A and B are shown apart, each in its own frame.
Chain A
Amino acid sequence: MNEPVVVRNLAKTFYDEARGEVRAVQGIDFECRVGEIFGLLGANGAGKTTTLRMLSTILTPTSGSAEILGHDVVADPASVRKSLGFYSASTALYPRLTARETIEFFARINQYPREKVRERVDYLIGRFGIAQYANARVDKLSTGMKQKVSIARTVAHDPPLLIFDEPTVGLDVLNALEMQDVIKEFRAHGKTIVFSTHIMSEAEKLCDRIAIIHDGKILACNTLENLRQVTGVHYLEDIFVHYVRGQG
């Protein structure tokens, strides 16, 4: 059986008048397996967001290929987007919609069966505990509430693949922990999750396999146990430093 995410020699180069040629991603390869949390671990500017944006078809790769559930990100972007939910700390909600309307809008726009939309929205409102403010406009909600609505809209159409791009950036400890619990729960429900972070403890706790990405290249990709064995160090932070310094 094909893996839900297959990335081959994927590269992205930007040309910026101020910074010149920026090779944000330089020919990376990885695969994600069904029902696992695959972590992209890297410092800021390592190429995590660019990689995830290519997977979600917002950016077109300069070279290489990526397939999401058998759909090529360049040849069939609409099918790719239909199969995934994309969450990023930088993505925003519509301030003048209510929480309920937001979830409903994203369910419908992602072509969730029309007759099941109401049921799905009610389920998500219950699941994320947002019933109390389901009819309040998003711009009136607190950061934590917005985060819950944001997660709910990401999974509104019940996609098999979820992409989380640094989901805990800007959250307090409690909200960050809640986010981690939610991601674990999604895995428990059989979702495949691609997760990027620069926080070592998060990757340690959540990821079944970790790819260490630096300067647009994947330096290592394995389970945490195997990474420990290969490097001979225990903590992920040390493992990360081992690879990054070794590469330098």
Chain B
Amino acid sequence: MNWETIRVLLIHELRMLVRDRRTVILAVGIPLLMMPIILYAMKSINERRERTLVETVYKYAVTGTEAEKLRSILARAKESQARAGKEKGEHERLERFKFEEVNVQDPAASLRNKDIHFYLEALSGPQADALPKKKKEQDEAASQADSIRKEILPVSTRLPGVPLILVYYQGDQDASQAGESKMRDLLLRERRNGRDAILIDHGFPVDPLKVISINDKSLASAGQVTGSWVGRFLTAFLVMFLLTGGSVVALDIVAGEKERGSLETLLTTAARHGEIVAAKQLTIVLVAILITVIHIANILAYVTFRIIKMPEDFVIEAPPGTVVTLLLLFIPVAAFVSSILLMLSAYAKTYKEAQLYFFPVYLLCLTPSFAAVLPGVSLRSAIVIVPLANVSVAVREILVGKFDWPMIGLTFVAMATAAFWTVRASARMLSQERLITSSEADVADFAGGPALFPKRVLRWYALLGVILISVALNVPQLATLRRQVLFNELVLFLAGPLLMIWRYRLNLKEALAFRTVKPAVWLAALLIIPSGNLVGIGVFRLADLVIPVPRQMLEQFGQELTPPGMPMWQIILLLAVLPGICEEIAFRGTLLYGLRRKFRPAGLAVVVGLIFGLFHVALFRIIPTGFMGVVLTAIALFTGSIFPGMVVHAGNNAFAFWAGRQGYPLAGLNWPLYLAALAIFGLSFYILYRNRTPYPDLRN
């Protein structure tokens, strides 16, 4: 890296941006100018609305057989209002409520014509009891009023024989809605007052309101409460600002250059692609941060001048340590977002095309950033490995004063890894010839068949994953365990790979690694079954120390997976033999074959293992299933054959279910036993290594 070149390129990009007056005005100037106008307009509209609603004399009509009783209740309510005068809070709202009865022929028509704001229908107890019945009888020709009754009739809370007051209003009109709300509250208060009066008349010794007083007190400090509120949205807002701010320069930075023809000029200079990428990324980050800071400062200015009113107990507690930790977490977020934007710009052929891609990318990045809004989500869960979502949750915990350092560290590592990967990917994209040539296809696209399969294999597995989840969630016919397993194994994991083999004209034996192995391999495979299972459980227990899985979730999962009544032979067939064959065909067969040239062997084992883990859907199972996936892939790589993996997979599942049925506490063994299993496991792999016949055509 030549930093002088990066500096020159960075200054050049910034200069180009600053001189693009229209962009600067649109991205910075107009929002700065518009913000006070919008805020002022919103404030004025709100105040006017409030004033109008307060000053309005709400007109209403009364109907029904018990209308007179209702009128007397309302008259009492007016007297109470006069007595109470002006009080604060809810009472103030009710005391300032002005209402006036209007005589109309057809209250429903008058409401529709806006002659009145709402109307009340007072029914006697027997009439109210008859309403649901009446509704059923007239179901086919239900009047508008009946359909409203159906929605608001509190059947479950009203005792038989109790009179009923129905308040009809137009939900699409502000004044009607406000009037209904106030009238409803007023009637509820009058009901309470009436009830209290009856109690006192019948000799209740004290004022019912003085029986018990309930107060609440939050033990969290104002700073923690504010932190919890701010923390929920901070990451999402930051990502939003980074995306929108970064897009000001990012969309043009490659796509625009391509369109103008200046990219080819730049690519023929002595600047290396890495330097060009670094400068462009720095530009995006700087501009994104600058625009974010401008907008935040803008908002803070309005908060300071009380144009935006914050709650009185709004206190941000951010000591230097907290600020530094947050900044450290936000650095990889900024790198990640800028790389995503750069990739988008490099992928698009024109500026306009880049704009089209921006919105879906925006949504994709923003969605995980709202993870902190989800109730009950803690950093000590699988969310710690999900980029953006992990930072979102970590920020909320930090702002409420919860510093879970190991998990904050893990969050940083996961986010930084994601950022590193996207930076590399964006650098690779800028090295591609399609940046300057119109030919999009390569030899694989053109040749099709086996050459194209490695390019398409991940798309196929993404499709299988989508089908797996969609079917499980939306097809009730497959809701039972047996049917779901049969569908997944036979349709997705067996028919899916066979379809790929047919579509890409693959050699069946090669694609599925149908190869014989040395006899010693079988000994190793048999040893791996119990030892691998125990090592897997040990790994899960270790992971559980860091990311605990709720016990309830584990128990529920265990029950769902092995219904108590299911015979053992069915369990073995459905949950051991079938996965052993079908899942191996899917993962150690076509998936491994398709990816064999994309990754080096160690990376290949991890990637195939991880995808295998992801297909087991539940996030908490990723570690044990992913581990097993890596083991099975490693076996295939050492032996060059799918068969030992099939035996180990089926054997491992059968062993787990058998031990579970027998009540052997495999998950509660002493650590030395796991270590012993690890030793046997290591010995098994040593045997495999000594007798290896490596998977052919791997990337070195």
Residues of A in contact with B (beta carbons under 8 Å apart): 13-17, 19-22, 53, 56-60, 78, 81-82, 84, 86, 88, 90-97, 101, 105-106, 108-111, 114, 137, 153, 157
Contact = CB atoms under 8 A, between A and B. Distances in A.
A17 B262 contact: no
Contacts of A21: 446
20 contacts: A15-B441, A15-B446, A15-B447, A17-B441, A58-B264, A78-B270, A91-B261, A91-B262, A91-B265, A91-B268, A92-B265, A93-B265, A94-B16, A96-B19, A96-B20, A97-B15, A105-B12, A106-B269, A108-B8, A109-B9
From A16, A78, A94, A109, residue with most partner B Cβ within 10 Å: A109
Interface stretch (B41-49, B73-81, B286-294, B431-439): B431-439
B272 interface: yes
A155 to B, nearest CB: 13
A90 B263 CA distance: 11
B632 to A, nearest CB: 36
B262 A92 contact: yes
Nearest to B276: A109
B439 A97 contact: no
Contacts of A57: 268
A14 B271 contact: no
A111 B8 CA distance: 10
Interface string B410-439: 000000000000000000000001001111
A79 to B, nearest CB: 8
A20 B446 contact: yes
B267 interface: yes
Nearest to A95: B260
From A58, A60, A88, A153, residue with most partner B Cβ within 10 Å: A58
A14 B439 contact: yes
B9 A86 contact: no
A58 B267 contact: yes
B220 interface: no
Contacts of A15: 439, 441-447
Contact of A109 (B261, B270, B443): B270
Give the contact-size bracket for chain B.
35 or more
Nearest to A50: B437
Interface of B: 2, 4-5, 8-9, 12, 15-16, 19-20, 260-262, 264-272, 433, 436-447
The 8 A-B residue pairs whose C-beta atoms are closest, nearest first, are: A92-B261, A15-B446, A82-B270, A86-B268, A14-B439, A96-B19, A15-B441, A91-B265
A22 B438 CA distance: 12
A225 B433 CA distance: 39
Contacts of A157: 270
Contact of B439 (A22, A109, A114): A22
B437 A14 contact: yes
Given A16-B440, A20-B446, 10 more contacts: A15-B443, A21-B446, A56-B268, A57-B268, A58-B268, A58-B433, A59-B433, A96-B20, A97-B12, A111-B2
B437 A59 contact: yes
A61 B267 CA distance: 16
Contacts of B433: 58-60
Contact of A81 (B261, B262, B269, B440): B269
From A57, A88, A91, A110, residue with most partner B Cβ within 10 Å: A91
A17 B445 contact: yes
Contacts of B447: 15
B440 A17 contact: yes
A109 B4 CA distance: 9
B5 A81 contact: no
A81 B276 CA distance: 14
A159 B16 CA distance: 26
A204 B377 CA distance: 76
Contacts of B269: 81, 106, 109-110
A20 B446 CA distance: 6
Contacts of A88: 264
A14 B441 CA distance: 8
Contact of B443 (A13, A19, A90, A92): A13
Contact of B436 (A58, A105, A137): A58
Contact of A91 (B4, B264, B271, B446): B264
From B262, B433, B439, residue with most partner A Cβ within 10 Å: B439
Given A14-B437, A106-B269, A110-B270, A90 B261 contact: yes
A175 B268 CA distance: 24
B16 A109 contact: no
A111 B262 contact: no
Contacts of B272: 78
Contacts of A94: 12, 16, 262
Contacts of B438: 16
A97 B443 contact: no
Contacts of B19: 96, 137
A170 to B, nearest CB: 12
Nearest to A78: B272
A96 B16 contact: yes
A90 B4 CA distance: 28
A26 to B, nearest CB: 16
A109 B5 contact: yes
B28 to A, nearest CB: 17
B271 A109 contact: yes
A56 B440 CA distance: 21
